[in-house]
Structure 1
Amino acid sequence: MSRAQPTLWDDQRTTLPDAIDMTAQSLQAYGPQHDHWAIAYSGGKDSSATLTVIMHLIETGRVSPPKSLTVCYADTRMELIPLAHAAQQMMARLRDRGIDVRIAVAPMDLRLLVYMLGRGVPPPSNSFRWCTRQIKVEPMQAVLAEMLFSTPGTILMLTGVRIGESAVRDARIALSCGKDGAECGQGWYQEVLPEAAGIRGRIATLAPILHWRVCQVWDWLMFEAPALGWPTTDIAVAYGGDEAAEINARTGCTGCPLASRDVALETVLKNPAWAYLAPLAGLKPLFRELRLPQWRLRKPGVDAEGNVAAGKNKQRMGPITLDGRRMGLERVLGIQGQCNEAAARLDRPLVDLIDREEEARIRELIAAETWPQGWDGDEPTGDVPLDLVYRDGLVQPLLVR
């Protein structure tokens, strides 16, 4: 087997102290330009490392503190239980230190399970990926907009973006690494956020651990941060425990409909302390089932008078039927109930996929026969045989009715 092409940096791999020094330099270079800092916190490994190392650098005097520091936690309501549990502990530690912690959560009707089971929107897919924007990005933008409305001056948003986390992200960083006066080695600094957020020009972003390797992230989370009193051990468990550095796993929502396998949950369930969460493995099969034709409405393609519908996809599959939503709701509540029965017996963290308020809202939307825009609810279900309508408007009648 041929060895990798040698480079000038083969003997110059940074250590964790080197990486922390570079993070401190990055914060000292750009931090003083902004009176107010906000840390984007998701509970994952990179954002947790970013949050705790910044707190450490400020508390040890290696980085000058801003006039105000706010931590914005993105609560998708679908996080892996170990990560959500660690996040709650982390936020409690922050509040004890006097840090302003704000929760970015989607409005009730836009939360993933309420949107699916109440309004009937089918589970997200790679061709219809509505979840990330709706339950994570937009709630965070709303919190930032609220901060800017009540805060004079500009805000520096600190993120856990790292090179090596994804090929797409690396390409984006490579195209803009020198943007807005940023220098290589001083983090990924940008003065731009989407226009849609209504906050352009008053907020900048900085990725102070951009240069950290994944092994350095694990060393910090598994050894350094816990020694400083930060509850990051459960985070490592969610990613594979002692094998996390080798697995280099990424996590998403519990039962993520976009992933072919729920590797993160599988990894968590291997740990005896979290094995009681095994019923959560039923979420992914449920989401797949809710995509099936018998649980979906479908556009017929022609109306009662024989007029062909407009548009290219004339017989597109649509929302989840009312019966499908009821079935889905009971299945999720059943999964949650099984987990919590075991949690109560073992004195372990509870599962909160659907709380009482969300359940009531889902049932209210179902009772009101709520449908997504463009659907009336009287369309046939997807498993009903129909005359085939082609894109050009030609109709091929069924041979047998």
Structure 2
Amino acid sequence: MTPQQTLNGKTVSVFDKKNLAEHYREIQEVYLSDNRPWVIGYSGGKDSTTALQLVWYALGELPESKRQKPVFVISSDTLVETPVIVDYITTTLERINQTATEKKLPFKAFQLTPRIIDSFWVNLIGKGYPAPSTQFRWCTERLKIRTADRFILESVTKYGEVVMILGVRKGESNTRDQVMNLYKIEGSKLSHHSRFAQSYVYTPIEDFSVDDVWTYLLQKPSPWGNNNRDLLALYKNAQDGECPLVVDTQTGSCGNSRFGCWVCTVVQRDRSMEALIESGEDWLEPLLELRNELAETQIPEKKHLYRDYRRMNGKVKVMKKGDDWDIIRGPYTFDYCKYLLRKLLEIQKDVQEKGPYPDVQLIQPEEIEEIRRIWMAQRSDWNDSLAQIYEEVMGESLNFTKDDLGSFSQAEQDLLNEICEKHNLPLRLVTKLLDVEHQMQGMSRRSSVYNRIGDVLSEDWLSEEEIREHIAKPDGIDTRRRNLRYI
């Protein structure tokens, strides 16, 4: 293995300390040391590819009789990955499974996806979660950690214990180094998993530099038939880093630059998408525009344009800003969620027509069905807005039945609106109470209906204008202000 040259002419390489045969020998020794199956986290990037390729070659040198312990290759598709990356990873996993079968190797690849209730669009468009930020990064837990957790726990249940193989390297960040050192087992190549007592972690490339990674990939061909120079080209086009497969809360989902979810608003700019567009993938422009629009909703001065003045629990929270009090905004308004769904469907239609993937789905049918259920059950969408939006954009009707999702319609809502205006009652309050009663129909025990009605009545039902009048005069105590939370 040829060492990499640094800019000052000194040769610095992990292969100077331990040659490739010794790396393979270490992997073989760890593999043969117990009966615990291996689970390799594969994200499609350079580091996870290097780790998987090292393990593949090392186990391939063992006699067939000794490579009976299963090696599961798991890759998380968050359902909001850049289509170019999804295509690359899907093709790779198919090749891994085919080649492993042909060569009688113990590898089996799985593409994992989050549960529909955890998906990005169900939470953002369905429930109104604001676009993720560094202060509220709700996406990592739902889209990545829980997905990997389910597979690990299922494997632990079946086999008792498992070993996670991760393509992580020291020196990438101080936090990662501290975590890797914290869980190390004295005298062993394994570490404890940070959260699961019956899981262990092995990091075969922890001492590799970036140069070592590319040296190995470019000098050692992909054993499952990929061209590693295609991976290098993908990096050059994206000019970016990769999002690792995340298995704990200590491992950051992405760095300051990223190579993964096209909707990521945790970073200031999506340089990866911008670079892909500049390299000729101009059909991705609508995706970048929507991502930038979501990022704009995080601007403090503009939050009131997109987000409700009440929190998801219906309560209002205010905080001190200088000499004044201000409202901490809650989820996206229902109107903005409807706008986002329409926009997303329009973009999906556009990229299907103009891009290289005519069957690409930016939002899955199951997500659409779940969003519709949430809108009707939790956001009092008696008008079935989702079905109307879908038909207007896609030119076809949904196959979902209306049945038990809700018996009320726009006609009832119009009548109710007139009644509420006449008696000066919030329309949303009455619709929520009716929804509670409707959802409890047919249940043998209805004792919880009182608690649910109480929860609805305890929400803040003053208008935003009334709330602002009260927080502007905090000494003017009013019984209607009793629910306001000051921080």
What displacement does 1:25 show?
4.2
1:255/1:284 contact within 8 Å kept: yes
Residues in 1 aligned to 2:224 and 2:62: alpha-carbon distance in whole angstroms? 15
Q: Which residue of structure 2 lines up, in the alignment, with residue 4 of structure 1?
A: none
Provide the secondary structure at the position in 2 that maps to 1:162.
coil
After superposition, where does 1:291-330 map in structure 2 within 5 Å? Answer: 291=298, 292-299=303-310, 315-330=327-342
Q: Which residue of structure 2 lines up, in the alignment, with residue 354 of structure 1?
A: 363
Q: Which runs of 5+ in 2 are unaligned?
A: 1-8, 102-106, 242-255, 321-325, 381-451, 479-487
The superposition leaves residues 138-174 of structure 1 with CA deviations (integer Å, 9 ceiling, x where unpaired) of 11011111111122x421110011123334213433x
2:129/2:331 contact within 8 Å kept: yes
After superposition, where does 1:71-220 map in structure 2 within 5 Å? Answer: 71-96=73-98, 97-98=100-101, 99-151=107-159, 153-173=160-180, 175-176=181-182, 179-182=184-187, 189-194=190-195, 199-200=196-197, 202-220=198-216
Residues 1:323 and 1:169: Cα distance change in structure 2 (over 3 Å): same
More moved, 116-125 vs 352-361: 352-361
Residues in 2 aligned to 1:51 and 1:33: alpha-carbon distance in whole angstroms? 19
The superposition leaves residues 104-135 of structure 1 with CA deviations (integer Å, 9 ceiling, x where unpaired) of 32211110111110111111111111111111
Q: Does 1:254 align with 2:255?
A: no
What is the TM-score when the length of structure 2 is the normalising length?
0.65
The alignment yields a C-alpha RMSD, in angstroms, of 3.9
Residues 1:135 and 1:166: Cα distance change in structure 2 (over 3 Å): same
What is the TM-score when the length of structure 1 is the normalising length?
0.77
Residues in 2 aligned to 1:218 and 1:17: alpha-carbon distance in whole angstroms? 17
Q: Which residue of structure 1 lines up, in the alignment, with residue 348 of structure 2?
A: 336
Q: Which residue of structure 2 lines up, in the alignment, with residue 364 of structure 1?
A: 373
Residues in 2 aligned to 1:370 and 1:121: alpha-carbon distance in whole angstroms? 13
2:238/2:259 contact within 8 Å kept: no
What displacement does 1:14 show?
3.4
Provide the secondary structure at the position in 2 that maps to 1:389.
helix
User: What is the identity percentage for the equivalent residue pairs of Structure 1 and Structure 2?
Assistant: 23
Residues in 2 aligned to 1:239 and 1:91: alpha-carbon distance in whole angstroms? 19
Residues in 2 aligned to 1:241 and 1:18: alpha-carbon distance in whole angstroms? 32
Provide the secondary structure at the position in 2 that maps to 1:49.
helix
Residues in 1 aligned to 2:238 and 2:289: alpha-carbon distance in whole angstroms? 27
After superposition, where does 1:224-243 map in structure 2 within 5 Å? Answer: 224-226=220-222, 229-241=225-237
- Letter of the structure 2 residue corresponding to residue 230 of structure 1: N
What displacement does 1:49 show?
2.0
The superposition leaves residues 25-60 of structure 1 with CA deviations (integer Å, 9 ceiling, x where unpaired) of 442343233321110122222112222221122223
By relative contact order (CA 8 Å, sep 6+), the higher-ranking structure is 1
The superposition leaves residues 182-237 of structure 1 with CA deviations (integer Å, 9 ceiling, x where unpaired) of 56xx5xx312331xxxx41x211011111111123233445533476225445333
Residues in 1 aligned to 2:276 and 2:363: alpha-carbon distance in whole angstroms? 21
Residues 1:88 and 1:17: Cα distance change in structure 2 (over 3 Å): farther
Number of paired residues? 364
1:34/1:154 contact within 8 Å kept: no
Residues in 2 aligned to 1:349 and 1:206: alpha-carbon distance in whole angstroms? 40
Which one has the largest radius of gyration? 2
- Letter of the structure 2 residue corresponding to residue 76 of structure 1: T
Residues 1:60 and 1:295: Cα distance change in structure 2 (over 3 Å): same
1:218/1:244 contact within 8 Å kept: no
Q: Which residue of structure 2 lines up, in the alignment, with residue 386 of structure 1?
A: 468
